[in-house]
Structure 1
Amino acid sequence: MIIGHRGVAAIAPENTLAGINAAADSGLNWVELDTQLTADDVPVLFHDETVDRCTDGKGRLDSFSLEQLTLLDAGAWFNEQFRDECIPTLHQTLTLCGKRGMGVNLEIKCYEETDVALLVEKVAEVVKETQFPLDQLLLSSFSLAAIKCCAEMLPDYRVGFITDQSSPDFLCDIEDLELFSIHCDQRTLTPELAEAITQKGYQLNIWTLNDAGKVQDFVDMGVTHIITDDPEMSAP
C-alpha cells in the first residue's frame, strides 16, 4: 500500500487540506500527516517546529494561537496556485478525510518543549469528537512517551513506532508496548533489521521512498506500506 507523505508532498503543500484532496484525487487511500499544538492547545497539522519554511510567518508554531495561524499563508511557498491555503486544524483534517474515505497515519510530532501528554489528550478529544473509524487511523511517533499516552487515551486505536535506527537493538525497548507497526527510514533499513521486525509480528512501513526502482527490494524485505511524496509510486 502506498501512503501519501504529508498529504502528497510532490504535488501540493504538505499538511494541508489541498494536499489531502490532491492525494485522494490521485487515487491514494491513505495519507501520512503530522500534528502538534498551537499556543492555545488546538491540534493542527504541521511538521516543523517553526513556521518559517512552510508559511510566510516566522517563529515557533506553538507560539501562535489558532487565530494567529489562520492569518498565515501555508501554500504560496510551494506554488502560487495554493496561495491563501491555511494551516488546518486536526478536526478539519479528520472531517475531510472521513468525507473522502481516506485513512490517516497521524504522527504525534514531539519536540523538546512539547507537552506530550497534553498533545495526545487534545488529539484524543478530536478523534473521539469526529468518531474517526478505528480501521482508518494509525497513530505513530518517534516518542515512546507519546506512544504510551496514545495507548492509555486511545486504547482501541493502532499505534506505530517511528525510527531511523539501523540496529534491531531498539526492539528490546518496545517489546512491552502493544505496537501494531514499525516505521523505518528507508535509508537505514537493512534486511537484518527488517527480518527482526517482521519476525516479531509487526507490520513494517518505510519512509520516505520516491524511487520506484527500489520498491521490489523493500517488498522482498517484508515491507507492506510505503510512505512517499510521489502519488505515481506503486508496489509491483
Structure 2
Amino acid sequence: MIASKLIAHRGAALLAPENTLGALSKTKEIGIPWVEIDINRLGDGTLVMFHDDQLGRLTSARGRLADQRWQDVELLDIGSHFSAEYSGERMATISQTLDHIQTLGLGLNLEIKVYPEFTPEQIVFDTIKALDKQWIDFSKLLISSFSTEVLNLLHQWRPDWQCGHLWERIPADWPQLAEALNLVSVHCDHRFLTETQIQVIRSSGLDLYCYTVNDRSRAQQLWDLGVDGIITDNPLALSRMD
C-alpha cells in the first residue's frame, strides 16, 4: 500500500478549515500520516491549495479563482467560516503548502483540479515545475485527478510518478485505462463501489482508496472488504478503529 489506511481529506475538513496550513498541522497533531489536498490555479498562474473555482463558499469575497491574482487573495480570511479559532487562516500557495507538508513529515495525495478556464496542459506543467523544485521523497507522493487527460500528460512527462484515477463511479474500461496510464491506484466514491469491484481491483495489484467516508461502520465495512485506504473529513473519529 502506497498511502495509509486513513487519509485526511483536504486536511481533516471537519476538524479544521479545509485546504489550509492549519488543517495540515491538525492532521499531524492527531497522528494521521497522509493528507489529501487540492491544487488549483489563479489567473496570474500562481498555484494555490484550494478546491473550488469560486471564492464565495469559503471567503467573504466573490468571483472566479481564474480572475484573481495572488495579491488579490493572499489576505483573504478562509478560516472564519469554520470557527473563530481559525480566523487568521489565509490561502496558501503550493510552494508554502509543499514546504509545510514536508516539514510535518506527512505523505501527500495531491488532487489536480481542472476547471474550464485553464487547459490541462497549463495546470500539469505548472504542477510538475512546483514538485520538481520542492518535493523530495516521491514515495510519499500520490497524484490523483478526475481528468484522464491530466493523468495522460503526467504519464508522458513524468512516467515514474505515482498516479491514481479518481472516479465517482468506476467505469467498465478501468483496467485498460490503468494499463495505458500506468496507474498505481484507483480512487472512487464509496457509495457506488461494489464488493465485486473491490475484489477485482485488489487482485489487479492496484491500491484502492475511497472518498469521503465519515461513518465508522461504513469505514470498517470497507476495510473488511479489502479497501486499502479511507479518505475522510474526520480521521480522528475513525482512527480509533484503525
Measured on the aligned residues, the alpha-carbon RMSD in Å equals 1.4
Report how far residue 167 of structure 1 moved: 4.9
- Aligned match of 1:121 in 100, 120, 125? 125
Q: Does structure 1 retain, via aligned residues, the 8 Å contact 2:214–2:232?
A: yes
Report how far residue 154 of structure 1 moved: 2.7
Paired position in structure 2 for 1:63: 67
Q: Does structure 2 retain, via aligned residues, the 8 Å contact 1:6–1:31?
A: yes
Gaps of 5+ in 2: none
Gaps of 5+ in 1: none
Paired position in structure 2 for 1:86: 90
SS in 2 for 1:176: helix
- Aligned match of 2:44 in 40, 43, 53? 40
**TM-score, with length taken from structure 2:** 0.93
Q: Does structure 2 retain, via aligned residues, the 8 Å contact 1:134–1:156?
A: no
- Aligned match of 1:155 in 152, 155, 159? 159
Moved more, 100-109 or 69-78: 69-78
Q: Percent identity?
A: 35
Q: Is the counterpart of residue 182 in structure 1 residue 186 in structure 2?
A: yes
What number of residue pairs does the alignment pair up? 236
- Aligned match of 2:137 in 103, 109, 133? 133
Are residues 191 and 29 of structure 1, via their aligned partners in 2, closer, same or farther at CA, if it must alter by over 3 Å? same
Report how far residue 177 of structure 1 moved: 1.3
Are residues 170 and 157 of structure 1, via their aligned partners in 2, closer, same or farther at CA, if it must alter by over 3 Å? closer
C-alpha distance in structure 1 between counterparts of 2:219 and 2:194, whole Å: 14
Are residues 199 and 114 of structure 1, via their aligned partners in 2, closer, same or farther at CA, if it must alter by over 3 Å? farther
Q: Does structure 2 retain, via aligned residues, the 8 Å contact 1:120–1:153?
A: no
C-alpha distance in structure 2 between counterparts of 1:168 and 1:98, whole Å: 37
1:123-146 Cα shifts (integer Å, max 9, x gaps):
111111113311111100000011
Q: Does structure 2 retain, via aligned residues, the 8 Å contact 1:168–1:193?
A: no
Q: Please list, as runs of the form range in 1=range in 2, the aligned pairs for 1:16-35 lying within 5 A after superposition.
A: 16-35=20-39
Q: Does structure 2 retain, via aligned residues, the 8 Å contact 1:166–1:190?
A: no
